[in-house]
Amino acid sequence: MDNQQLRAHILSFSLDGGPRGNQGYTRVLLQLFGYNGHGKSSFINSCKYVIHEEEFIEHAEAGERQDHGAVTTIRKAYKLTENITLVDNRGYSKENNFQRAEIYAQLGNFIPIGEEVEWKKNYSEVMDKLEDADLDPNYSDFIVPILVHSVEHILPEEEKEEMKELIENCYKMTGIVPIVVITKRERGIVKNMKEMFRSLGAKEIIAIENFTRQDHSPAQGKTEDILKILTKALECVTSSLNEERGPRAQRVQRRKFLLNYIYQADLEQEKHKWRQEEEKKEEERKEEERRREESRWWWKLLTFWKRKYNTPANA
Ligand SMILES: Nc1nc2c(ncn2[C@@H]2O[C@H](COP(=O)(O)OP(=O)(O)OP(=O)(O)O)[C@@H](O)[C@H]2O)c(=O)[nH]1
Ligand SMILES: [Mg+2]
């Protein structure tokens, strides 16, 4: 298919086309996630540009912060077509387990769209947030996760295991292996990055160059890559809807996984605190021992000098 045909296919996509109908889903939600500054917001602008616009518009604010913090902090939805919406989730840097739980909650749509995402630090804070969101549960969004990763960020060995777990858990939360979008393709070796993600369990990996405020001159190749990602995402939806999905039962299953994850994160944090306290106590005990040893030493020295100089000369 050429770009025009791909565009037409995306614009006319409907959830009702399969043999089992839409199974209760009314829209496709493309959930973007990934590290801060890797190009999630730019990807949204690129999608809007290639689907609709004559001119480039920055719908989602994109940029870089001096302190490497997140530019996007509010979880926002951008309607792409009648049936497809993109969600710009809050990016992360080096997350702890509670931040991860919130990423999973964002991915599974357990956190309302349109709200500021503040990373929570403990069990009760995360649980409060989830319970508030559960007042109005959403069963009708078909979620396709899209992991956005810059080719510039080569993962150190210790982060690879975490990324693998993230990909696996993302599948558990959505039923779909995330599509990996490698951004800034001209700034690194795409082949190596693709191999790395494949070794971590990713199946669909597409490298792109986003349209940005600085560079948005029309380019067939760039447009095609972005249309390919959207087409891939819709293929996932179609093939998934050929199977029985059961949105409600799935949501219950995912909620269980999430609660268990938060519980484990809490246990981990408690263990970590306990270990830190034990280490502190051990340090204090050693310090006390050292002080006692020192004072014993001084006492011995004092006794020695006393004996030596207090002894009468004629004794
Ligand atoms: N050259 C190039 N620059 C890009 C590309 N994608 C994004 N950028 C630039 O990278 C910077 C960060 O992009 P954003 O889209 O704001 O990244 P983000 O993932 O939304 O970041 P947060 O909201 O902070 O999590 C911006 O200056 C973009 O112009 C790309 O494919 N190529
Ligand atoms: Mg952003």
pLDDT at 29: 94
Task: Kindly give the distance from the C-alpha atom of residue 146 to the centroid of ligand 2, in angstroms, as a whole number.
Answer: 14
In the chain, the N- to C-terminal Cα span, in Å, equals: 114
Q: From atom 30 of ligand 1, which residue's Cα is the shortest distance away? A: 184
Closest ligand 1 atom to Cα of 34:
19
Ligand nearest to the CA of 63: 1
Residue 100 in domain: yes
Mean pLDDT of 194-207: 98
Weakest-pLDDT range from 76-80, 143-147, 173-177, 250-254: 250-254
Amino acid 311: pLDDT: 65
- Confidence band for 211, pLDDT divided at 50, 70 and 90: very high
What integer is the mean pLDDT of 141-154? 96
CA nearest neighbour of 78 among 87, 70, 68: 87
What's the number of domains the chain is made of? 1
* 67-85 residue pLDDT tens: 767 777 788 899 999 999 9
E strand intervals along the chain: 27-33, 76-79, 84-88, 141-150, 179-183, 205-207
- CA–CA distance, 280 with 21 (Å, rounded to integer): 61
State how far the Cα of 148 lies from the Cα of 34, in Å rounded to an integer: 5
Q: How far is CA 50 from CA 83, 137, 223, 304, in A?
A: 17, 32, 6, 90
pLDDT at 8: 95
User: Residue 79 domain-assigned?
Assistant: yes
Mean pLDDT calculated for residue range 135-151: 89
Is 273 a domain residue?
no
CATH number at 43 reads 3.40.50.300
Q: Is the pLDDT of residue 137 over 80?
A: no
Q: Classify residue 297: in a domain, yes or no.
A: no
Write the residue with the smallest CA distance to atom 12 of ligand 1: 37
* Cα 69 to ligand 2 centre (Å): 10
In a domain, 130, yes or no: yes
Q: Ligand 2 centroid vs 184 CA: distance in angstroms?
A: 15
Atom of ligand 1 nearest to the CA of 187: 1
**Banded pLDDT at 100 (limits 50, 70, 90):** confident
Query: Residue 135 pLDDT more than 80?
Result: no
Is residue 298, in this structure, part of any structural domain at all? Answer: no
Q: Is residue 300 part of a domain?
A: no
CA 206 to CA 194: how far, in whole Å? 8
Q: What percent of the chain has pLDDT over 70?
A: 95
The protein residue with its alpha carbon nearest to ligand 1, atom 16, reads 62
Bigger pLDDT: 61 vs 80: 80
Provide the residue range defining the domain that includes 190: 3-265
Q: How high does pLDDT run on average in the chain?
A: 89
In this predicted structure, what is the pLDDT of residue 295?
93
Residue 198: pLDDT band (50, 70, 90) is very high
Q: What is the pLDDT of residue 95?
A: 67
pLDDT of residue 173: 92
Distance from CA of residue 11 to its chain's centroid?
28
Residue 287 resides in a domain? no
